[in-house]
Amino acid sequence: MKGWNGRILWIDLSNRKIKIHEYDGSFAQKYIGGRGFAARILWDYLPPGLDPFSPHNLLVIATGPITGLPGPSTGKLVVAAKSPLTHGYGDGNIGSLGAVYMRYAGYDALVVTGKSEKPVYLHIYDGKVEFSPAEDLWGRDTFTSERILRKKHGRNTGILLIGPAGENKVKLATVMSQEGRSGGRPGIGAVMGSKNLKAIVFSGDRLPELHDPEEYKKLAAEAYAEIKKKPAYSFWMRQGTMSTIQWSQANGVLPTYNFSEGVFEFSENIDGNAMERMKKGQRGCPNCNMPCGNYILDDTGEISELDYENVAMLGSNIGLNDLAKIARLNRLADMWGIDTIGLGAALGFAAEASQSKIIEEKIDFGDFNSMLELSEDIVYRRGLGDLLAEGLEHASLKLGGDEIAVHVKGLSVSAYDCHAAPAMALSYGVSTVGAHHKDAWVISWEVAHGRFEYTRQKAFRVFELQRIRGGVFEMLVSCRLPWVEVSLELDWYVRLFNLATGLSWTWDDFLIAAERVLTLIRAFWVREFQAEGKGWHRGRDYPPKKWFTRPLTKGPFKGARLDIDRYDEMLGAYYSYVGWDHRGIPRASTLERLGLTDVCKDLESFIQLT
Ligand code: PTT
Ligand code: SF4
């Protein structure tokens, strides 16, 4: 087997035992890596219905066959677990030297189970695993902790770690790396915290064995050169994802005042052009020649790396119009290790709840000081913050603000308002982890293809994008932005994969593997909801109530809102494309067609399949 290391490292923190699981080519080809490995491992080894904070939850960190190899934007990894926020499948994607050095240490994936008695960090190198005390790091922010670890273990290491949010089991906590890379929105950082695991340090120097290393190197160099030739490259290098603020404002989808509106009257203060005027530099993930981590100085003079989602959710969504102040909240979120999207959604919810007298606390849109104070209260679990740290679904049900809580399956919606975008609403509704744009960012296509329509074509487009973005890129594992943002053709990835592995795959082979993993993840959600007694039903795939009941009051699409019956019809069309029944549960024939016969049998013991 070439391309893959063929080894998964298992670490039990309770008894400090390790074991190496060797897998063969058939597993590799069926699940490829990353999300594919994570979903299969969670399906096979996670006891159904488990409390996500149980020591038996599995923290899976997984790479793929081209991860870490010299090639465009391959310095990425997937972190996954049963989510404490949604109680379903949860994962996230991080750009980190950890991706490179895990592969160079000889492993494709790491599974951490158990719970350490005291705070601990792991150093994985040369076939060894060291368990080191982390009491002196516990309580420290991610920037300081990473600097301490890097000083100790040297520059040639990759570090994944959590901050105070993860330690305090805030369900919005992410896993962090490199002072500005974050992943695992569904609370994967909190799972790490529940295991008393502060950090993982990887080092190694062994490149995985490749089928044709010389040709691979040549093709990778050509791909890098091709990226630089693309017409979109130079503007991308100036603004990265930040230009999406201008795009969202122009198209009326910029989340504003807790997703009440799609335009922000101060958008020019916080958009890509404003960022460019303040820009101090840019940085990015390993192996990337189109780095998108644009940074500015915040209002205290500290470096803060800005992305579209961060600025929209901590800016327009909470009414803040000062980019330097938004940058401060953003930097603190990275230091605390909390999801900026989840945080912006919680703050926006609180401001609207305050306005509507659902809560007594006075929190005003646009008031930086109260937003900062509430953010700290969430991270350190004080007062209202403690409730919001449990997630939007829990907090809103407890407070009675269900109608203004903008989430799907408990995961807050990322930064696209969908009052006037039904396909994007569907994409959030059926995303693999709750409301995330990562699987199907259909909105740019939708805007150009009849945005108010509810068509079968839109449902198919969501499925098509899910297979590429949520399937192929999450399994390979590689950054999708060279394809999305500068139009690097997908065929480059097929050729790189074949040269690394010696296989002769076509694009269609990737699509089948992608469909398999998306269906497996759906089976996981259904199994967990059944096992926990919550039950699975079609309504789980509905977007937030607010988009149906509270129309936009201004902007180009004033008066727009979603129509529930037409949404439901489109959802039905989506189910028929993916081969799931009217409840959104994979049909037995679909599971069998995708080579998941064993999953079919297991799932049948939780719910009757059609
Ligand atoms: C991702 C989500 C996103 S998506 C953003 S900005 W984006 C937010 N970033 C956060 C952050 O930063 N700090 C923080 N404390 N919380 C944050 N929460 C939000 O998390 C990121 C890039 C971006 S920038 C995107 S779109 C692409 N995402 C990819 C993906 O998902 N898969 C893939 N194969 N390639 C991708 N490339 C791009 O990576 P989640 P990163 Mg992220 C600081 O994790 O859980 O998936 O949520 O990884 O290394 O920071 O790169 O406008
Ligand atoms: Fe990382 Fe951005 Fe490069 Fe993708 S484009 S690898 S997110 S720096």
Q: Which phi and psi (to 5°) does residue 372 adopt?
A: -65, -45
Nearest CA to ligand 1 atom 30: 93
pLDDT of residue 126: 82
CA 523 / ligand 1 centre spacing (Å): 25
468/607 same-domain check: yes
114/195 same-domain check: yes
> Residue 194: inside a domain, yes or no?
yes
253/325 same-domain check: yes
**Is the Cβ–Cβ distance between 580 and 523 less than 8 Å?**
no
pLDDT of residue 525: 98
Q: What is the CATH number of the domain that holds 24?
A: 3.60.9.10
438 lines ligand 1 (CB under 6 A): yes
137/249 same-domain check: no
Q: Is 539 exposed, middle or buried (0-12, 13-18, 19+ CB in 10 A)?
A: exposed
71/110 same-domain check: yes
Closest ligand to Cα 224: 2
> Residue 224: inside a domain, yes or no?
no
pLDDT of residue 317: 98
Closest ligand to Cα 180: 1
283 lines ligand 2 (CB under 6 A): no
If one counts every other C-beta atom within 10 angstroms of the C-beta of residue 605, the result is 10
Q: Is the pLDDT of residue 588 over 90?
A: yes
Q: What is the CATH number of the domain that holds 371?
A: 1.10.569.10
Instruction: Let me know the angle formed at the C-alpha of 223 by 1 and 462, rounded to the nearest 5 degrees.
Output: 80
pLDDT of residue 127: 82
Among 409, 444, 478, the domain-final residue is: 409
Q: Please tell me the total number of residues recorded for the chain in this structure.
A: 610
Tell me, letter by letter, the H, E, C secondary structure of 38-51. Answer: HHHHHHHHCCCCCC
Q: Is the pLDDT of residue 95 over 90?
A: yes
183 lines ligand 1 (CB under 6 A): yes
Percent of the chain beyond pLDDT 70?
100
485 lines ligand 1 (CB under 6 A): no
> Residue 229: inside a domain, yes or no?
no
CA 361 / ligand 1 centre spacing (Å): 31
pLDDT of residue 493: 98
Closest ligand to Cα 295: 1
Q: Is the pLDDT of residue 49 over 90?
A: yes
424/291 same-domain check: no
pLDDT of residue 129: 97
The model's confidence at residue 327, banded by pLDDT at 50, 70 and 90, is very high
426/386 same-domain check: no
403/261 same-domain check: yes
Mean pLDDT, range 324-352, rounded to an integer: 98
Mean pLDDT, range 283-310, rounded to an integer: 97
Report the candidate in 152, 172, 154 with the shortest Cα–Cα distance to residue 162.
172
The model's confidence at residue 47, banded by pLDDT at 50, 70 and 90, is very high
Render pLDDT for 410-429 as a digit per residue (tens, 0 to 9).
999 999 999 999 999 999 99
Render pLDDT for 390-402 as a digit per residue (tens, 0 to 9).
999 999 999 999 9
Render pLDDT for 444-460 as a digit per residue (tens, 0 to 9).
999 999 999 999 999 99
Mean pLDDT, range 227-233, rounded to an integer: 98
185 lines ligand 1 (CB under 6 A): yes
474 lines ligand 1 (CB under 6 A): yes
> Residue 435: inside a domain, yes or no?
yes
Nearest CA to ligand 1 atom 46: 92
Report the candidate in 589, 420, 41, 488 with the shortest Cα–Cα distance to residue 225.
488
460/584 same-domain check: yes
386/252 same-domain check: yes
Structure tokens at 203: 């080092």
pLDDT of residue 324: 98
518/434 same-domain check: yes
The model's confidence at residue 207, banded by pLDDT at 50, 70 and 90, is confident
Tell me, letter by letter, the H, E, C secondary structure of 312-342. Answer: HHHCHHHCCCCHHHHHHHHHHHHHHCECHHH
- Strand 281-283 to 197-202 pairing: unpaired
328 lines ligand 1 (CB under 6 A): no
551 lines ligand 2 (CB under 6 A): no
Interatomic CA distance for residues 97 and 175, integer angstroms: 13
> Residue 383: inside a domain, yes or no?
yes
pLDDT of residue 76: 98
Mean pLDDT, range 583-607, rounded to an integer: 98
Question: Which segments within 83-233 are labelled E, that is strand?
Answer: 89-95, 109-113, 120-125, 128-133, 158-161, 175-177, 181-183, 197-202
Report the candidate in 144, 43, 153, 167 with the shortest Cα–Cα distance to residue 98.
153
CA 292 / ligand 2 centre spacing (Å): 6
> Residue 226: inside a domain, yes or no?
no
pLDDT of residue 213: 97
Render pLDDT for 148-188 as a digit per residue (tens, 0 to 9).
999 999 999 999 999 999 999 999 999 999 999 999 999 99
Nearest CA to ligand 2 atom 6: 73
Mean pLDDT, range 110-133, rounded to an integer: 96
Q: What is the CATH number of the domain that holds 522?
A: 1.10.599.10
User: Whole-number mean pLDDT of the chain?
Assistant: 97
pLDDT of residue 42: 98
Closest ligand to Cα 478: 1
Count of CA atoms in the C-beta half-sphere (13 A) of 209: 6
Question: For the chain, how many structural domains are there in total?
Answer: 3
488 lines ligand 2 (CB under 6 A): no
Among 364, 385, 409, the domain-final residue is: 409
The model's confidence at residue 286, banded by pLDDT at 50, 70 and 90, is very high
CA 207 / ligand 2 centre spacing (Å): 22
100 lines ligand 2 (CB under 6 A): no
pLDDT of residue 382: 98
> Residue 497: inside a domain, yes or no?
no
CA 488 / ligand 2 centre spacing (Å): 13
CA 112 / ligand 1 centre spacing (Å): 23
Residues 6+ apart with CB under 8 A from 598: none
Mean pLDDT, range 326-333, rounded to an integer: 98
329/433 same-domain check: no
Percent of the chain beyond pLDDT 90?
99
95 lines ligand 2 (CB under 6 A): yes
Mean pLDDT, range 435-441, rounded to an integer: 96
Among 381, 409, 437, the domain-final residue is: 409
From the centroid of its chain, how far is CA 455? 27
Structure ipTM: 0.96
If one counts every other C-beta atom within 10 angstroms of the C-beta of residue 191, the result is 32
Q: Is the pLDDT of residue 500 over 90?
A: yes
Domain that holds residue 441: 418-487+506-610
Mean pLDDT, range 531-539, rounded to an integer: 97
Closest ligand to Cα 283: 2
